[in-house]
Amino acid sequence: MTDLLRRLMRTPQGAIGLILLAVLAAACLFGPWLAPHDPEKMDFLGRFRPLGAQNWFGADQFGRDVLSRLLVGARSTLPMALAATLLGTVAGAVVGTASAYLGGRWDEAIMRTIDAVMAVPGLLLALLLVSTLGNGAGNAMIAIAVTFAPGMARVTRAVALTVRGQDYVKSATVRGESAPWIIFREMLPNVMAPVVIEATIRVSFAVMLFATLSFLGLGAQPPASEWGLMVAEARQYVHQAPWVLIAPSLAIALTAIAFNLLGDGLRDAMNPRDER
Amino acid sequence: MSVSWLLRRLALILYTVFIVSVLVFGITQALPADAAVTLLGENATAEALNAIRERLGLGDPIWWQYLRWVGHAATGDFGLSMRTGQPVGPEMLTALGRSLLLAVAAILVMLVIAVPLGMLAAVRQGKAADMATGLISYLGVSFPEFVTATLLAMLLADSLQWLPATGYVSPLEDFGGAVRHLALPVLTASLILVAHVARMVRSETLDVLHSDYIRAARLKGLPERTVLVRHALRNALLPVVTIVALDVGYLLGGIIVIEEIFAIPGIGRQLMVAVTARDLPSIQAGALIMSATYAVANTLADVAYAVLDKRIRYD
């Protein structure tokens, strides 16, 4: 693990990604204590106050401190995106491994169905699911997880197919182990590495998708300071205070960049050909 | 490319549309809305509600309702909108036309930017131009459409006043106006695609540039320009066809947001309106049409790939 971390730090993407993530993690863990102001506190004399000593990132239409709202908002954005990716990855990994294990007609049927589900554009599927489940951050999280599962299943299956031919899986079959045992105890642990890389990159999609759903009014609800929601609310005041719009926009983009960089760094660091 | 391969692709589209229709129907049936109440309002009498349930066949078994819906949908009849009372099918198809205009324009703009950018990066591998392309790709995939759209609108429409911020003009009525109104949405939609495709073109061109026939072309003494355009470009562009088809999925999702922000009455916006109003027939029609469009685009890309690449023989 420490070896992986060292190799990760040696790639430029990995190093920058890790540093950005450390900042984000700090915002998630200590946001409310780091915030210079109460994120909900309104100040009608300080409406649209520009960037300065009093409000580093300016103030919004109610005079609320933008930096404080960003810091606290990290909590309503990041954990949701992570949870959605985790849930989708686990579900997809189980289906993909099972499909590879079963093989033959079952595999064919499962994969063609997954192809078909993936023919629904991601945002559209998430939109339909949220409108069924009801608006809200939790339901948006579940919808994103469901949207991710088919893609993860496809990636996992490709890896699992090679694992399936390995001797230790064959010997487990000969020992007479049950299908669930072989899928969960023998195959799944060995397909995890590529799946983790794929999942890391997907977190950036999850962040963007979650923010998009909130932006459309389907995810996090006001007065939460979720970043997508902050962008949506700031749009009407773009003439008076562009910073209220720019700050959360950049926060979303930076988070997506961080996970993209980390994913690429992980790919390089885990590549066995690259022993240095 | 054999007839049986084409038939198999066709069967796959049908299976895809079938699964999507089940998915869409299943999800919309689970919507926590009573169609009868949505139509008549909260204060309707029980008799009126029962009468309309009878008329819409809401009491029938669920599989029968599904078959009836699919049967009608196959003939282009998606029922009446609960919001406007108008037939949903024609409304959605008109909207799809506007969305396709936006999508096709975005793909063209993307190709004009991404292909030269990717090739430049490959030819100048490791130099400043390559780094810049890498940076653009990174930024491109890290900005969701709603952020790009809002920031571009802020800059080009609000601050500089170069372009109108919202609205749609038919190109048949006023071509110049249509171009001005479509500029921001098309730019937004093409940015994320540029990021993907430029990366792809770069790596494909690099592969091609290291191949034997390029070395042969250079050894023949052909000018570098001819080598790049006549020999390298063609072969590097082939895999791009596939990635563009996959990106149509992103594009269709992104169009929902882009049309909402720029107030374009395309299929994405219709769908958002339908979702907000819980207008079941419109949601079903919109989702099915969008997904079918994506499935067809993917198949067309496969066929185009097979036609373009004479080496691939499907049997």
pLDDT tens sequence across B163-177 = 777 777 777 777 777
Mean per-residue pLDDT, A181-209:
82
- Verify whether the Cβ–Cβ distance B283 to A131 is below 8 Å: yes
Average pLDDT over residues A216-227: 82
Report phi then psi at A29, rounded to 5.
-75, -45
The pLDDT value given to residue A88? 92
Percent of chain A whose pLDDT exceeds 90: 6
Residue A131 has its nearest CB partner, among B15, B31, B158, at B31
End-to-end CA distance of chain A: 16
Backbone angles phi, psi at B87, to 5 degrees: -60, 135
- Determine whether the interchain pair A119/B16 forms a contact, defined as Cβ–Cβ distance below 8 Å: yes
Asked if B19 and B11 count as a contact pair (C-beta separation under 8 A), the reply is no
As a whole number of angstroms, the distance between CA A77 and CA B67 comes to: 41
Question: DSSP class of residue A168?
Answer: H
Q: What pTM does this model have?
A: 0.84
Which runs of consecutive H residues, i.e. helices, occur in chain A? 2-10, 12-34, 66-102, 104-117, 122-133, 137-164, 167-175, 179-181, 188-215, 227-234, 242-270
Sequence-distant (≥ 6) Cβ neighbours of residue B48 within 8 angstroms: B40
Quote the tokens at residue B229: 């355009």
The token pair at B187 is 């730019």
Neighboring chain A residues of B142 at a CB cutoff of 8 Å = 204, 208, 253-254, 256-257, 260
**In whole angstroms, what is the distance from residue A23 CA to residue B120 CA?**
35
- Placement of tokens 């900042």 in the chain: A23
Q: Out of B20, B143, B278, name the one closest to residue A116 (CB).
A: B20
The model's confidence at residue B315, banded by pLDDT at 50, 70 and 90, is: very low
Give the number of other CB atoms < 10 A from CB of residue B136: 19
CB contact under 8 A, A124 and B151: no
User: Smallest Cβ distance to B158: which of A122, A238, A261?
Assistant: A238
> Chain B: residue nearest A235 by CA?
B150
Residue-wise burial string across A147-158, b where 16 or more C-beta atoms lie within 10 A, e elsewhere: bbbbbbbbbbbe
Nearest to A204 among B20, B142, B275 (CB): B142
Assess whether pLDDT exceeds 70 at residue A151.
Answer: yes
A241-245, A255-259, B201-205: which has the highest mean pLDDT? A255-259
* Closest alpha carbon to B23 in A125, A93, A218, A84: A125
Q: What span, in angstroms and rounded, lies between the C-alpha atoms of A206 and A212?
A: 10
Per-residue pLDDT at A274: 44
Give the alpha-carbon dihedral of A113, A195, B240, B149, to 10 degrees.
90
- Return the minimum-mean-pLDDT range out of A106-110, B124-128, B159-163, B183-187: B159-163
Calculate mean pLDDT across residues B251-260: 87
Return the pLDDT at B120: 84
Nearest to B249 by CA among A204, A154, A120, A212: A120
Q: How far is the C-alpha of A53 from the C-alpha of A58, rounded, in Å?
A: 9
* Higher pLDDT among residues A240 and B97, named by residue: B97
Nearest-neighbour CA in chain A from B131: distance (Å): 13
Q: Do B291 and A121 touch (CB under 8 A)?
A: yes
pLDDT category, A86, cuts 50, 70, 90?
very high
CB pairs under 8 A between A and B: 129
CB contact at 8 A, A237 and A244: yes
On the question of pLDDT at B200 being above 90, the answer is no
Greatest distance between any 2 Cα atoms in chain A: 77
**C-beta of residue B254 within 8 angstroms of C-beta of residue B192:** yes
Which burial class, exposed, middle or buried, applies to A123 when counting CB atoms under 10 A from its CB (0-12, 13-18, 19+)?
buried
pLDDT at B267 over 70: yes
Tens digits of residue pLDDT in B36-59: 666 666 677 777 777 777 767 676
Does residue B74 surpass a pLDDT of 90?
no
- Identity of the highest mean pLDDT range in A55-69, B224-238, B261-275: B261-275
Rounded mean pLDDT of chain B?
A: 80
Q: What are phi and psi of B80, to 5 degrees?
A: -100, 140
pLDDT band at A110 (very low <50, low <70, confident <90, very high): confident
For A44, which DSSP code?
G
Cis peptide before A223 (omega within 30 of 0): yes
**A4 reaches B (C-beta below 8 A):** no
Label residue A276 by pLDDT band (50, 70, 90). Answer: very low
Cβ-Cβ contacts under 8 Å, A132 against chain B: 27-28, 30-32
Q: Which of A113, A125, A131, A146 to probe by mutation at the B interface, max B CB count within 10 Å?
A: A131
Q: Which residues of A touch B31 (CB under 8 A)?
A: 131-132
Question: Are the Cβ atoms of B150 and A231 closer than 8 angstroms?
Answer: yes
- A52 versus A230: the higher-pLDDT residue is A230
